[in-house]
């Protein structure tokens, strides 16, 4: 097999080498394309463009495979905690017991934020969207920690990583408490990372709070499942912002803004909003399944199928079980969740959906879990960001360590040609 590709343009043949990844993925190295031919590629949305080489996450949409650093998502969800997976993504290997103990110790010691950050939080109206609040609070960390990070210093890098891993759950929980009109909580150093997320979000001042194992298990799985997903919109944003040598906090803040859109992290919010709309219209799931199959109907069934996974979403298989456990444990009687169950059952046996492989995806089940836990719909994307944090950190770190050039896509200009004033 040839290790290059030939392109013929205006009777001249140009040759470009192939690059191959560790999973035998092949790409055409076109770094010299414009210099050799005067041409650029046109690829809206970068669906066929590899922007980098990465050793963090492997995704095969055709076969439904997702691996972090070589470990399958199924094994990681079964055998690991979220903080272990975060260590794996950021530092490249699963932690030893001593490494994990040290990481937890460092995070506990850094689980405070400057009290003046509360002034930023207080300045937002209660109706402000949580993602805007979270992005602003994350950017605010820069002001309170202005020193730039020396990428060559392992100690500096670790300090910045620990700081963000420790403080981000506090900021996320404060965003939630702002939405609910509740007093702010700090971390409880006797709890695990995920237990602390639940504690800071749900503990009421007049009640003791002990997170149930089902709640912690479901949150742990959700955070792991969302921890990284290759070069998606928000991750690419983190890398391209970081390529200007913007700091970690600024780059992650940009990723938070990117993930807030309904096409990305907001997809599980869109699922619940769709279910609420169906309920408001009488709750007839068969009617809406028919609408979804009608190509002339503008209705779109949210939470089914995936633009990357062509057969099934491996994350959905894992989180479906957790969703069933949460609903059973909490015994919730919610008509919106009943509609979700109805849509799920019909889709799993309807030939139209089976033939097109339109199965419920991770956004469908995560939306159900978050609603069952009492998390406001507009907070779903904040939870997504909380899970994605270690992936963003890992991707930013890899980009900086590889000394990648500043991201600078080109364009095909379609505006007016030169004209007189």
Q: Mean per-residue pLDDT for 385-413?
A: 96
Categorize the per-residue pLDDT at 81 as very low, low, confident or very high, splitting at 50, 70 and 90: very high
Collapsing DSSP to helix, strand or coil, 320 comes out as helix
The string of pLDDT tens digits covering residues 193-212 is: 999 999 999 999 888 888 88
In a domain, 362, yes or no: yes
pLDDT beyond 70 at 234:
yes
In a domain, 410, yes or no: no
Instruction: Report the catalytic residues.
Output: 306, 363
> Tokens representing 37?
């031919």
pLDDT beyond 70 at 8:
yes
Give the CATH number of the domain where residue 323 resides: 1.10.580.10
| Per-residue pLDDT, 167 | 96
In a domain, 187, yes or no: yes
In a domain, 411, yes or no: no
Nearest CA to 107 out of 188, 163, 47, 168 is that of 163
Nearest CA to 388 out of 259, 247, 267, 270 is that of 259
Cα–Cα distance between 292 and 301 in angstroms, integer? 6
30 and 75: one domain? no
| Per-residue pLDDT, 378 | 86
84 and 16: one domain? no
160 and 18: one domain? no
Categorize the per-residue pLDDT at 325 as very low, low, confident or very high, splitting at 50, 70 and 90: confident
- The chain-wide mean pLDDT, for the chain, equals 92
pLDDT beyond 90 at 149:
no
| Per-residue pLDDT, 309 | 86
In a domain, 83, yes or no: yes
Instruction: Judge contact between 339 and 285, C-beta under 8 A.
Output: yes
Nearest CA to 54 out of 64, 68, 42, 44 is that of 68
Write out the residue range of the structural domain in which residue 44 sits.
4-50
The string of pLDDT tens digits covering residues 237-271 is: 999 999 999 999 999 999 999 998 777 877 888 88
312 and 349: one domain? yes
Instruction: Judge contact between 84 and 264, C-beta under 8 A.
Output: no
Give the CATH number of the domain where residue 40 resides: 2.20.28.60
> Tokens representing 242?
């970081």
156 and 196: one domain? yes
175 and 33: one domain? no
The angle that helices 154-180 and 130-144 make with each other, rounded to 10 degrees, is 140
The string of pLDDT tens digits covering residues 13-32 is: 999 999 999 999 999 999 99
Q: Mean per-residue pLDDT for 293-318?
A: 87
In a domain, 283, yes or no: yes
| Per-residue pLDDT, 1 | 55
pLDDT beyond 70 at 103:
yes
The count of structural domains within the chain is: 2
19 and 136: one domain? no
Cα-Cα-Cα-Cα torsion 205, 210, 214, 217, nearest 10 degrees, comes to 90
88 and 236: one domain? yes
In a domain, 412, yes or no: no
**Strand blocks (E) in 29-123:** 57-60, 65-68, 71-72
63 and 81: one domain? yes
65 and 30: one domain? no
Q: Mean per-residue pLDDT for 397-409?
A: 95
32 and 102: one domain? no
Instruction: Report the percent of the chain where pLDDT is more than 70.
Output: 100
Categorize the per-residue pLDDT at 377 as very low, low, confident or very high, splitting at 50, 70 and 90: confident
In a domain, 415, yes or no: no
Instruction: Judge contact between 58 and 23, C-beta under 8 A.
Output: yes
Domain boundary among 50, 69, 84: 50
Domain boundary among 15, 35, 50: 50
171 and 231: one domain? yes
């Amino acid at each position: 097999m040839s290790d290059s590709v030939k392109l013929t343009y205006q009777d001249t043949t140009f040759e470009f080498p192939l690059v191959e990844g560790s999973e035998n993925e092949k790409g055409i190295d076109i770094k010299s394309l414009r210099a050799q031919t005067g041409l650029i590629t046109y690829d809206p949305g970068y669906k066929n463009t590899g922007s980098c080489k990465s050793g963090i996450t492997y995704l095969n949409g055709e076969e439904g495979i997702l691996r972090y650093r070589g470990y399958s998502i199924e094994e990681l969800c079964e055998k690991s905690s979220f903080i272990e997976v975060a260590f794996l993504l950021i530092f490249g290997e699963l932690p030893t017991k001593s490494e994990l103990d040290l990481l937890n110790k460092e995070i506990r010691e850094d689980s405070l934020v400057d009290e003046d950050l509360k002034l930023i939080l207080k300045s937002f109206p209660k109706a402000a969207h949580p993602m805007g609040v979270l992005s602003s609070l994350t950017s605010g960390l820069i002001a309170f920690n202005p020193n730039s990070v020396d990428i060559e210093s392992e100690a500096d890098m670790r300090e910045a990583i620990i700081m963000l891993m420790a403080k981000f759950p506090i900021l996320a929980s404060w965003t939630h408490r702002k939405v609910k009109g509740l007093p702010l909580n700090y971390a409880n150093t006797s709890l695990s990372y995920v237990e602390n997320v639940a504690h800071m979000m749900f503990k009421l001042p007049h009640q003791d709070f002990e997170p149930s194992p089902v709640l912690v298990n479901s949150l742990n799985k959700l955070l792991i499942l969302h921890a990284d997903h290759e070069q998606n919109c928000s991750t690419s944003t983190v890398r391209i912002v970081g390529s200007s040598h913007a700091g970690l906090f600024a780059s992650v803040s940009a990723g938070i803004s990117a993930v807030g859109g309904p096409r990305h992290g907001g997809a599980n919010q869109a699922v619940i909003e769709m279910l609420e709309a169906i309920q408001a219209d009488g709750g007839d799931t068969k009617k809406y399944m028919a609408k979804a199959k009608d190509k002339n109907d503008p209705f779109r069934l949210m939470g089914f199928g995936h633009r990357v996974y062509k057969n099934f979403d491996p994350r959905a298989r894992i989180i479906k079980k957790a969703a069933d456990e949460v609903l059973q444990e909490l015994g919730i009687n919610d008509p919106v969740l009943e509609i979700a169950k109805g849509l799920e059952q019909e889709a799993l046996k309807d030939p139209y959906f089976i033939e097109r492989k339109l199965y419920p995806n991770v956004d469908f089940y995560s939306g159900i879990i978050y609603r069952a836990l009492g998390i406001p719909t507009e907070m779903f994307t904040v939870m997504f960001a909380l899970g994605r944090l270690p992936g963003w950190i890992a991707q930013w770190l890899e980009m900086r360590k590889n000394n990648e050039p500043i991201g600078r896509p080109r364009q095909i200009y379609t505006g007016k040609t030169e004209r007189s004033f």
